[in-house]
Structure 1
Amino acid sequence: MIFYTLIPTELLLFDDMVKPNFKEIKMGEASLVVEDQGDGTVKVVRLISSNPQDYLDDKFKPGTVMNYTLIFENQTS
C-alpha cells in the first residue's frame, strides 16, 4: 500500500499509541482545556470563555504551563 501524504507515517499508523491526557478546568468564568504533563504541571491547550478580556490574559494563552497548585488556588478563591 502506498500513501501519498505529507503527514508523517508515525502519525498515520501509530496514532493509538500516544493519546494526550486532556482535562477541562474551570477558572472563574473561563474553562480551560489542559494537557497533563505528568510532572505536576499542565499545559493550556484551549480557552473557552464568553468574556473577551480572558483571551487577552497571558496566563490563559495556549502553550502556557501551569502548576497544579496554581490552578487549585485560583479555583478556591
Structure 2
Amino acid sequence: MLYTAVPIEWIFEEDEAAPSKTREIEINGVKLIVAERDSSTYEIVQLISSNPSHYLDDHYQPGKTLSLRPLL
C-alpha cells in the first residue's frame, strides 16, 4: 500500500508507445518470462514456479540468454 499525494498514474506510468517484446514460455515444465533480443535470442526476465529448486538452477536464472528456434 502506498501512502502518497502523487497520482497513481505517475507511479505506475507505462510507456504505451513501445510495445512489449516479452512473452511467457515453458521449458522442461518451468514457466519463464523472456524478453526478445533478436529473432532467435531471448533473455530470461522472470521465473514463475512454486518449486524452490527451480530458483537454484542456473539454467533458469534471470539475465541468462536463451537461443530458441521455432518448431516446424
TM score, norm. by length of structure 2: 0.67
Q: Provide the secondary structure at the position in 2 that maps to 1:54.
A: helix
Q: Provide the secondary structure at the position in 2 that maps to 1:37.
A: strand
Identity across the alignment (%):
33
TM score, norm. by length of structure 1: 0.63
Aligned residue for 1:47? 47
Higher strand share: 2
Contact 1:29–1:49 (Cα < 8 Å) also in 2: no
Unaligned runs of 5+ in 2: 1-12
Unaligned runs of 5+ in 1: 1-11, 73-77
1:63 maps to a residue whose letter is G
- 4+ residue runs over 4 A deviation: none
Q: How many equivalent residue pairs?
A: 59
- RMSD of aligned residue pairs (Cα, Å): 2.3
